[in-house]
Structure 1
Amino acid sequence: MNEYQNDGRVERRGKFAPSEAVLRGDSADVYFHRTIEILEKEGLDPIAVMEVFPNGSGVLCGIDEALALLDKVLPLDNREVWALNEGDAVTSKEVVLRIKAPYRSYGLYETALCGIMASATGWATAARECAGAAGDIPCVSFGARHVHPFVSGRMDYAAVSGGCKGCSSVEGAKLAGIEPSGTMPHALIIVMGDTVKATLAFNRHIDSGVARVSLVDTFKDEAEESLRVAAALGETLKAVRLDTPVERGRVTAELVKEVRARLDQAGHGHVGVFVSGGLTPERIRYFIDKGAPVAGFGIGSYISGARPIDYTADIHEVNGVAVAKRGRIPGITENPRLKRVM
């Protein structure tokens, strides 16, 4: 219990308070509802040990949210929980969570526990792949528009846990304890009719603590637009963002180099070049291998569309007796990396 209180998990857990729908079991597989009903009517509630493990290697994420759920449903005077840490590298079949408590207190939530970590681990692992490819160049998660709004914040939080330096959604940034990151949308520029006009309006009305980054591929040539906004904002402009669509050949290393060169020639060496649009670890490595002077990468669907890394939950002990389904070894699975957290 003391470890749990002293390593910052209590504060992080508070950000992930489970919804009433989750607590009711609305997201649970129906057979768990039926299992709890049967056990209640049979008067059975054994002390059971359940172990949860991934079916693939990756970056563990969602464990703090899983612990928040368990903290809500497990009896305070009859529970023992061990877990790895958010952001730990995990291997296939490694136990990341072990629960020992009356089975009826947590059995209904097996679906939620596995689902939380499956999705989050998939997103965090994809983010780690991008961050690894980028090296010292920061990556920002821009994928909120590619997922349902109920989970966009969780996705962005997982992306930051996996290595992104920022994320675009307000909820994701709040969960991660950072400020949301973003430039400006094409919509603002199109509605206002001109990139420089839109960027100047951004500069007038948005808090000065927000970095001035102008999107420069809407109406004119990217290099020309970059020079226009740099001349208009001067030292205030931090970067330009290239998001050229595939219909126009998308962003290339050569385009980044040209924009960088033209900015430098015009005396705007302080303005960085930020790249977004269809980025993957392979595309990131392409820019780096070509020596493109990229100041940052905005990553969307590679992270948001990452395949979940499935989790499995198995009961390994009932009332002190080692048990397991066929194909699994009865009894506690040793993992010295697990820490007692409740």
Structure 2
Amino acid sequence: MDLQSPPRLDRLEDLRALKVDPGRLYSATHEEILGGWTTDIYFLKTRDVLRAAGRLDVPVTAEIFARQEGVFAGLGEVLSLLDRKGTDLAVEALPEGESFASKEVLVRIRGTYEAFGLYETVLLGMLASSTGWATAARRCVEAAEGLPVICFGSRHVHPAVAPVMERAAVVGGCVDASCILGAKLLGKDPKGTIPHAAILLAGDTVELARVYDGLLPEGEPRTVLVDTFKDEAEEALRVAEALGDRLSAVRLDTPGERGGVTPDLVREVRYRLNLAGYGHVAVLVSGGLSPDRIRLLAEAGAAGFGVGSYITHATPRDMTMDLKEVDGKPVAKRGRLPGPLPNERLKRVR
């Protein structure tokens, strides 16, 4: 079977043609997602049942909400999928990046159930994950109180979703992303320095810093890790003396085995750089940061933060889709209110 053009699922019998190469990567391709391969099986069964009952093409109104508050993200992907599913769909939604309350209506879709019903699983998953990541990013950004936060989270998630995660983090307020594809999807250039591996291979931080400085294009900030071989304050001064005014920042990423990046460490590095006349060199920090640690490190003199695991380990916001109108008549399952619920913050997006 040609995995570049997987069959699109329309009926339960289509599963007979669905064959999977056991040696493939486990993540779904875009074609497989659009083809319905990643939906729950009961939505495919539903198409057969409603088709047989003559009700598959009935016009409906569906609403999506989350049980927990958060920062809304994932709408871009939802709209990209719906754009391929039917020209008659009308969509209202909360703008991405907006905070929302528990059970507030986030998305309203109007159209035939046939046009989007199969993709309920996919739409909810897109919103649930992205909203969770955006919410965690916003907490870090608020803790930083105006200092920049960059997302360094790609290594903590499956590569298939790393660009999605980093996009959501920027929606949540991160100024940049390190994942190449994630940044490019946002129209940005990816941001990052150099890893410890480069310094270990070079054998000396200053030697590597000089080579790095010579290779970077003019105008790109020179930021160098200073925790690989020597005391962080000593290494920061060595690099500053070598690069002078060309050095933009040093980054502290001290491992937990050495106590991690502490407020006292940041305070000392900042003090010694100032004392030596390198007040222009910022102190950036990374490594297991959380909003609480960001606050403490900012008070100690940190000027920017690279956050990974706190964002990527965020709890997704459980999303629910309810049908609220069928053929123009208000409906609801027990425990829910029939008919569309008012939310003046929704904007027409499709």
Q: TM-score, normalised by structure 1?
A: 0.91
Alpha-carbon distance, 1:55 to partner: 1.3
Secondary structure of 2:340 counterpart:
coil
1:18-167 aligned within 5 A: 19-44=30-55, 45-74=57-86, 76=87, 78-167=88-177
Q: CA deviation at 1:252?
A: 1.0
Residues 41-78 of structure 1 show CA distances to partners (whole Å, capped at 9, x for unaligned) of: 4433211111001111010000121111111112x2x3
**1:308 maps to 2:320:** no
Partner secondary structure for residue 261 of structure 2: coil
User: In structure 2, what is the Cα distance between the partners aligned to 1:207 and 1:73?
Assistant: 44
Structure 2 stretches lacking a partner, 5+ long = 1-28
Say whether 1:203 aligns with 2:213: yes
Q: Select which of 271, 277, 281 maps to 1:271.
A: 281
1:137-160 deviation digits (Å, cap 9, x = unpaired): 111111110000011111111111
Matched to 2:258, the amino acid is R
Find the aligned partners of 2:219 and 2:125 in 1 and give their Cα distance. 37
Q: Distance in 2 between matches of 1:132 and 1:284?
A: 10
**SS class of match (2:96):** coil
CA RMSD of aligned residues (A): 1.3
% of aligned pairs identical? Answer: 53
Q: Could you tell me how far apart the structure 2 residues matched to 1:26 and 1:200 are? A: 51
Residue 179 of structure 2 aligns to which amino acid in structure 1? S
Alpha-carbon distance in structure 1 between the residues aligned to 2:125 and 2:168: 14
1:245-288, Cα deviation, whole Å (9 max, x unpaired): 11001111111111112112222111110011110011112223
**2:265 and 2:229 mapped to 1: Cα distance?**
16
> Match of 1:3?
none
Task: Say which of 298, 303, 317 aligns to 2:325.
Answer: 317
2: CA distance between counterparts of 1:275 and 1:265? 20
SS in 1 for 2:84: helix
Deviates more, 1:264-273 or 1:302-311: 264-273
Cα separation, 2, equivalents of 1:340 and 1:251: 46
- 2:191 matches 1:181: yes
* Rounded Cα–Cα distance in structure 1 between residues aligned with 2:90 and 2:226: 55
Counterpart CA distance in 1 for 2:67 and 2:231 is 47
Q: Distance in 2 between matches of 1:208 and 1:271?
A: 17
Q: Number of paired residues? A: 321
Asked if 1:328 corresponds to 2:328, the answer is: no
Structure 2 Cα separation of the partners of residues 139 and 81 of structure 1: 32
Take 2:34 and 2:266, find their aligned partners in 1: how far apart are those partners? 50
Partner SS, residue 298 of structure 1: strand
CA distance in structure 2 between the partners assigned to 1:146 and 1:266 by the alignment: 38
Contact kept, 8 Å, 2:89 with 2:115, in 1: the verdict is no
- Taking the aligned partners of 1:210 and 1:38, their CA distance within structure 2 comes to 59
Secondary structure of the equivalent of 1:96?
A: strand
> How many Å apart are 1:187 and its aligned residue?
0.7
AA matched with 1:33: L
Residues in 2 aligned to 1:171 and 1:132: alpha-carbon distance in whole angstroms:
26
What is the alpha-carbon distance in structure 2 between the residues aligned to residue 190 and residue 49 of structure 1? 59
**Gap runs ≥5 in structure 1:** 1-17
Tell me by how many angstroms 1:319 deviates.
0.7
Residue 240 in structure 1 maps to residue 250 in structure 2: yes
Report the alpha carbon displacement of residue 310 of structure 1 after superposing the two structures with TM. Answer: 0.7
Deviations 1:81-132 (A, max 9, x none): 1111011111111111111111011001111111111001100000110110
Aligned residue identity for 2:264:
E
Deviations 1:172-203 (A, max 9, x none): 11122222111110011111111111111211
